[in-house]
A and B are shown apart, each in its own frame.
Chain A
Amino acid sequence: MSSHREAPEISKDPVADNTDTYAFVSPDAPDTVTLITNYVPLEGPAGGPNFYEFGNEDVLYRINVDNDGDAEPDVIYEFQFKTTVRNPGSFLYNTGQVTSLDDPDWNRRQFYSVKRIRDGRGTVLGSNLASPPCNIGPRSTPDYEANLGLPAVHSLDGGVKVFAGQRREGFYVDLGSVFDLADLRPFQKAHLISTEPALGVDATKAVNVHTIAIQVPITHLTRDGSRPKRPQDAKAVIGVWGSASRRKSRVHDEEGEGEAEAGPWVQVSRLANPLFNEVIVPMGRKDRWNALPPRRDSEFLQYVQHPELARLLPVLYPNVFPNLAAYAKERADLVAILLTGVPTGVVSPDFQNFTGTRPADMLRLNVAIQPNQGPPTATNVLGILGGDLAGFPNGRRVFDDTVTIELRAVAGATIPLVDKSFTPDAAAGVVSDFVYPPIATSTLPAQIPDILKDRYLTRFPYLGVPLNGFSTPAT
């Protein structure tokens, strides 16, 4: 998956597991950027009685922004949560209907603080901000979004909005096909172990996730506080990644009355480009990758230059990827997409998100690219691959089909951008993680395909209303 349970150690620590990171110019507020990091993978909506929540003071969540290309965070948004229990004598999450964020029937609540750190100086933007409860069901949390979701969008000074709480999972993927030897539906006929074709399965359509989202003016993020208008301007590009840290040491108490923690915060999870740690980094190095900052990513450069998946595809799909199989050069296209950004002119004279030669896994967003470009460039879930410069890998929007984009890139579709001598295999342009037909021709009058619309909102925080546990089977 994007980065759900993607490494051995973090897969055992869901509240710190950074599953997805998004960064995009807000479509309904184009002077702002929305930054989102998700945690707690694969929440079954009925997963009570201890419903999902963020780490309680023991996890430090961060959204990091580099604005000068050195892969160091220049602006940091820091989130910390505190849990309160009204009635520890009850086993219930809620003792009646919860119809507001201060409803006395809501037993276990979380509040959080937001701090911005810029140039080493911290400013508390908000404190004691309420998270909404999980969406339990129509009796416990009736009219969820109006009563609980919307009120949990907090407007802070300086034009900043923030939300932290449960949302519907926005990342879509046919997990079963990917992990079953990449038997990508509906291309099973061409697989080494051939079966009849079938439509893909949206494996994450019935799960929720915990979202930290912040919307800030673009001028809060750029290196000189400007609002760049020209995409070619180096100041227009920011690098973004999410992270979670825990204290360096922890001692469990044999009486079960809490743990002792001490020491500095140590990063245990991070995420920028989807699937980077999952698919690019080998098993034996995934935990290390999670602990390191992006500025150390030269350690992982070789895995981008020669990705394992590019070697596997020709084996799993015999005679389908002959040109890819014969390509032995370093994958400069993938290095640009994932580690340095794309220089001006490679995709278009009007586009770049290049941050310099230092390899670092960051989402690179050109804030001068407008979110709604209009005809003939329609919004396309395939992002730049679909001719839509406002989409992945120019940052990442909540609805971008990043699995298909990266799959096609790894399969060779983007090699000609940097090596004109290469002709992609025909399959590289159509291979897909098919969860809805037909994605390749999504020239959309609206922002997203109908089949995905209920997963998203057209306003902050853009990820959809969480599924409730009563109506969504736990299976």
Chain B
Amino acid sequence: MAAVSRRNFLTHASAGVAAGVATAGGLTAIGGLTAARYTSPAPASGLQPLGEHMIVHVRDVATGEISIMAGTSEIVYRDSEVVARLLQGARQAQSAAGTT
């Protein structure tokens, strides 16, 4: 699998926000981060771009706490399922980069 690109990450993440940043359904587009393994149930082509950067920060893996920053706003919520998927993707990225 290709190394995770931060630019790609942003592209995919930005596409997802219009579906609702506070819902797991909207966040599933983040699965595009590791597209070879995770596929989004929502077609990315149907989503509207946010028009500004969105950055997602996993604040606490143990509690599933995620921070979504878009524009000058931030929302924090918990979704252990999404965090688990991101964690798997992160481990895969580490593996691809030879850091583990």
Q: Do A and B bind each other?
A: yes
A residues within 8 Å of B by Cβ? 247-249, 251-255, 260-265
Known A-B contacts A260-B10, A262-B69, A263-B69; A251 and B74 likewise in contact (beta carbons under 8 Å): no
User: Are B55 and A253 in contact (CB-based, < 8 A)?
Assistant: no
* B5 / chain A contacts, CB cutoff of 8 Å: 254
* A251 / chain B contacts, CB cutoff of 8 Å: 6, 9-10, 53, 55
Known A-B contacts A248-B69, A248-B74, A249-B69; A262 and B53 likewise in contact (beta carbons under 8 Å): yes
User: Are B69 and A253 in contact (CB-based, < 8 A)?
Assistant: no
A-B contact pairs, 28 of them (CB 8 A): A247-B72, A248-B69, A248-B74, A251-B9, A251-B53, A252-B6, A253-B6, A253-B7, A254-B5, A254-B7, A255-B7, A260-B10, A260-B53, A261-B53, A261-B55, A262-B53, A262-B54, A262-B55, A262-B70, A262-B71, A263-B67, A263-B69, A263-B70, A263-B72, A263-B74, A264-B72, A264-B73, A265-B72
Known: A255-B7, A264-B73. 4 other contacts (CB 8 A): A249-B57, A260-B6, A260-B55, A262-B52
* A248 / chain B contacts, CB cutoff of 8 Å: 69, 74
User: Are A254 and B69 in contact (CB-based, < 8 A)?
Assistant: no
- B57: nearest residue on chain A (CB-CB)? A249
User: Are A263 and B7 in contact (CB-based, < 8 A)?
Assistant: no
* B55 / chain A contacts, CB cutoff of 8 Å: 249, 251, 260-263
| Assembled-state Cα–Cα distance A311/B8 (Å) | 55
* A254 / chain B contacts, CB cutoff of 8 Å: 5-7
* A253 / chain B contacts, CB cutoff of 8 Å: 6-7
| Assembled-state Cα–Cα distance A261/B55 (Å) | 8
| Assembled-state Cα–Cα distance A265/B10 (Å) | 20
Closest CB in chain B relative to A312 CB, distance in Å = 41
* A263 / chain B contacts, CB cutoff of 8 Å: 55, 67, 69-70, 72-74
| Assembled-state Cα–Cα distance A230/B61 (Å) | 58
Identify which of residues 74-96 in chain B touch chain A, using a CB-to-CB cut-off of 8 Å: 74
* B67 / chain A contacts, CB cutoff of 8 Å: 263
| Assembled-state Cα–Cα distance A299/B10 (Å) | 38
* A262 / chain B contacts, CB cutoff of 8 Å: 52-55, 69-71
The interface bits of chain B over 30-42 (1 if a CB of A lies within 8 angstroms of the residue's CB, else 0) are: 0000000000000
- B72: nearest residue on chain A (CB-CB)? A264
| Assembled-state Cα–Cα distance A247/B57 (Å) | 14
| Assembled-state Cα–Cα distance A194/B67 (Å) | 57
| Assembled-state Cα–Cα distance A265/B74 (Å) | 10
- Residue of A247, A249, A262, A264 ringed by the most chain B CB atoms within 10 A: A262
- B73: nearest residue on chain A (CB-CB)? A264
* A252 / chain B contacts, CB cutoff of 8 Å: 6
* B73 / chain A contacts, CB cutoff of 8 Å: 263-264
| Assembled-state Cα–Cα distance A265/B70 (Å) | 12
| Assembled-state Cα–Cα distance A184/B48 (Å) | 64
- A250: nearest residue on chain B (CB-CB)? B55
| Assembled-state Cα–Cα distance A264/B71 (Å) | 8
Closest CB in chain A relative to B97 CB, distance in Å = 13
Closest CB in chain B relative to A367 CB, distance in Å = 33
- A265: nearest residue on chain B (CB-CB)? B72
* B54 / chain A contacts, CB cutoff of 8 Å: 262
User: Are B74 and A264 in contact (CB-based, < 8 A)?
Assistant: yes
- Residue of B5, B7, B9 ringed by the most chain A CB atoms within 10 A: B7
| Assembled-state Cα–Cα distance A141/B55 (Å) | 42
* B7 / chain A contacts, CB cutoff of 8 Å: 253-255
Closest CB in chain B relative to A200 CB, distance in Å = 46
- A263: nearest residue on chain B (CB-CB)? B69
| Assembled-state Cα–Cα distance A249/B71 (Å) | 10
Closest CB in chain B relative to A78 CB, distance in Å = 12
Identify which of residues 12-52 in chain B touch chain A, using a CB-to-CB cut-off of 8 Å: 52
Closest CB in chain B relative to A267 CB, distance in Å = 14
| Assembled-state Cα–Cα distance A363/B6 (Å) | 43
